[in-house]
Amino acid sequence: MLAGGPPQSVAAYPENDRDFHAVKKDKWAERKACFIVPKCLYFPLSPNADFCHFAGIRFAMYVLFVPPFGGGKEILMKIAILNGSPRIENTAAMVNAFSEGAKEAGHEVEILHVGRMKIGGCLGCEYCHGKGGGQCVQKDDMEKVMPSYKEADMIVYASPIYYFDVTAQLSAAMQRVYAIGKPAKAKKAALLLSSGSPNPYNGAIATYKDMLAYMGVENAGIFTAAGDENGSEAKLAEIRNFAKGL
């Protein structure tokens, strides 16, 4: 049964079959299929149940009550967050706020802590565009990142600004995507930046926007937190509400 559908469907099964019976979905399910279910789930429509015959076998009509599957929220988007921080402080708070809001909205979120992974920079060897067929010659933690990157409907880049750009770790992960050129499914992206000083973001934002323009991916939003904004409830609520509204 599809979630949210009617709670019952009519089924026919042989009277002498005491174990399992084939149940045919009703028209509400739109597709016809057979399921094998225990007889104990059935009860007759009336004390004198109706009968039909098929291939010389007598069948009794019973009603099956089946609770709908799932009940949870439909997954709207798969979101991959690339957290470029090697620490668990201000950037992590922004990432967690985004993740909370996105999950509340029904999105599936995966946080990839690339700031604590071993990811080498692109070598420019072109192996990926030749014998590699989209696979990098380097065998490192980027192999953990790429599957989620390829499947994501939205990609979020998060990083502290240590010296006028995203961390070297996140930069390496971003540049290693050169192996596939563009994300396979992503249509949206967002950028979360944390810093101690105000306005050191130009380099990171320029790279992010240029990359998205090449990929044909929409910029859904850019959020920065400087100084006392880091960890503040106002800033985290802003990010959380943004993600909730996606």
Per the CB < 8 A criterion, the answer to whether 80 and 148 are in contact is: yes
CA distance 120 to 117: 9
CA distance 225 to 198: 8
Nearest to 217, CA basis, from 186, 246, 243: 186
Could you give all domains of the chain from N- to C-terminal order, each with its CATH number? 8-65 (no CATH), 78-244 (3.40.50.360)
CA distance 188 to 216: 9
Q: Helices 90-104 and 233-244 meet at what angle, rounded to 10? A: 40
- What's the pLDDT tens digit per position in 55-80? 555 545 444 444 444 455 577 999 99
Nearest to 108, CA basis, from 127, 80, 134, 133: 80
- What's the pLDDT tens digit per position in 143-193? 999 999 999 999 999 999 999 999 999 999 999 999 999 999 999 999 999
Burial of 5 (0-12, 13-18, 19+ CB in 10 A): middle
pTM for the full predicted model: 0.71
